[in-house]
Amino acid sequence: MPNHQNNLADKVAVWLPLLLAGVLALGLYIGLQLNTPTGGQVLQNDEQGGLYLNDTKGRVDEMIHFIEAKYVEDKDQEALVRKALRAIIGELDPHSNYIPVEDLQAINDQLDGDFDGIGVEFMVLDDTIVVVSPLSGGPSEAVGIRAGDKIIRIEDSIVAGVNLSSQDIFSLLRGKKGTEVEVGIKRAGQQDLLSFTITRDKIPMHSVDIATMLNDKTGYIKINRFSATTYDEFVMALEKLVEEHKMEDIVVDLRHNPGGYLKETTRMLSQLFPQQGKLLVYTEGRTVKRTEYKSNGRPFYPIGEVIVLIDEGSASASEIFAGAVQDHDRGVIIGRRSFGKGLVQEQYPLRDGSALRLTVARYYTPSGRCIQKAYGHGENYSGDLEERYHNGELSEEDKMAIPDSTRFYTDNGYIVYGGGGIMPDIFIPLDTAVLQEEYLIWRQYTSGFVFRYAEQHKDPFKNYDLDRFVRTYTISNNLYQSYLDYAREQGLEEDFPQNPETIRELKRFLKARLARQYFNDEGFFKVWNQKDAMVLKALEVLREDDPIAAARKE
């Protein structure tokens, strides 16, 4: 027995160091694989003393390395890497994006913070800055910048076709509150560039613009985006309208809303569906399993009829919202065909602090339709809205295109279509009067005039409450002339407007801006909604015994 134990001890003494050495070697190898910047591709020496990657998946890294080591001239390696990344991502889809570290905070601010700037959300398509949406209440919205506008010039610099980074664009457009920037805009239907002078301001990032009553029983909530606070803002709006004003029916305005967080959207939708487990939207991708988002069955307030307003600037989460309402026959969709963004992005942090925003799935409405419009080679993705204008789709219902003829069905058997946006139940044409060049030129001076007027007239409406102002106040000829004179003082050399439609719309906008100045945002929307064709149609439909049936007979 003692001899056996001695033999075992001798064997352990011999093999234990070898075993430990093997484990150490294995650990070093695994650690090297996990810590290499190329994700498991190790740089090795070849017979000539050069460096190469040990597999073919690191060819971009290998090429950059050879350029850095051997190229005849010095090159900025970081710039080369960024161009390579953008070229790769450019082959994917319009919404995947590489975000450099210096741009990341500014981009996240669009959903989560306040900043000084001109107040637009934009995307760069085909080397051109395209306005996705002017932020409500911001300086760009005030001068008349619209969704779909293309920014061609900033001050004296041409910015179209020069491949500017997001940071370059931010540095040109953002600046200290009170400073001015001049931009040249190419707009659908306009032959010449439109010039706008925008005074930078603190950009409000509240996602609910207004919650007000349209009549004794109908509430109106305008949502400009789906940010991290939208659900809370929406619930507070419902609380105000229901508990203070006894709201029964609701109009949700998603026009020019570019989208945002999916979770906020589905939480809001749960407030419209009393049933638990109602499918609201689902996502699915090549490597992403189907994920369903359903109603929680816990609405805080009973809501009767629902109307959703959309237009060509309503995208992504706005389309999810409208699609769920339409597919479940929960309400009526009024407006024009929406943007057509049905792709889901996830953001992945990279080691240097930059990020990759990558499309990982498509989203589908409850009936199974994906509303993403075509974006492959040969498709004019960035110019789609301009094409809609030129082919008459925005002004004539019978020219409203159905990009995909595949039929889907709502809960009640109503036919709906996917592949290119949400088709409204009731079409409302674009008001071409507000697109006239004469109107656009003069309108941009309204904000400055109203501010000057407020400085000189501290309380001109002290005998008015908001309802009386909306009902009875009219823009006098003297006030209108003062406005025209102010524009001339600012350097405008155009002839005074002669078109009756232009004069009408300028006076309407002037009254709305005065209402905002003296009665806050509620004042603006109270005035504007008086003659808003979509709002008026919503109220007309809500007077029907069965609004959905009435809408789909038209």
- Answer yes or no: are the C-beta atoms of 160 and 128 closer than 8 Å: yes
Q: Angle, nearest 10°, between helix axes 500-529 and 446-456? A: 70
For the chain, the C-alpha Rg in angstroms (whole number) is 29
Separation CA 309–CA 251 (nearest Å): 7
pLDDT band at 168 (very low <50, low <70, confident <90, very high): confident
In the prediction, which pLDDT does 52 show?
45
Window from 11-20, 458-467, 477-486 with minimum mean pLDDT? 11-20
Structure confidence at residue 41 (pLDDT):
39
Q: Which are the catalytic amino acids?
A: 316, 341, 345
Tens digit of pLDDT for each residue in 525-542? 999 999 999 999 999 999
Total residues belonging to the chain: 554
Dihedral sign for Cα atoms in the order 123, 125, 127, 132: negative
More confident residue, 165 or 306: 306
What's the pTM value of the predicted model, to 2 decimals? 0.75
13: confidence class by pLDDT, cuts 50, 70, 90: low
| Gap between the Cα atoms of 135 and 119, Å rounded | 5
* 110-119, 256-265, 363-372: least confident range: 110-119
More confident residue, 131 or 312: 312
For range 173-201, the mean pLDDT: 88
Name the amino acid, one letter, at 391: N
CA dist 31 to 19, 24, 34, 35, 373, Å?
18, 10, 5, 6, 45
User: Which pLDDT band holds residue 252 (cuts at 50, 70, 90)?
Assistant: very high
Per-residue confidence (pLDDT) for residue 449, from 0 to 100: 87
**What confidence tens digit (pLDDT) does each residue in 270-310 have?**
999 999 999 999 999 999 999 999 999 999 999 999 999 99
Q: Which of 189, 109, 94, 114 is nearest to 146 (CA)?
A: 189
- Is 378 a residue whose pLDDT tops 50? yes
pLDDT for 33 beyond 50: no
- Give the chain's domains with CATH numbers: 114-203 (2.30.42.10), 208-430 (3.90.226.10), 434-534 (no CATH)
d(CA 98, CA 79): 13
Strands (E), 354-478: 355-364, 407-409, 415-417, 426-427
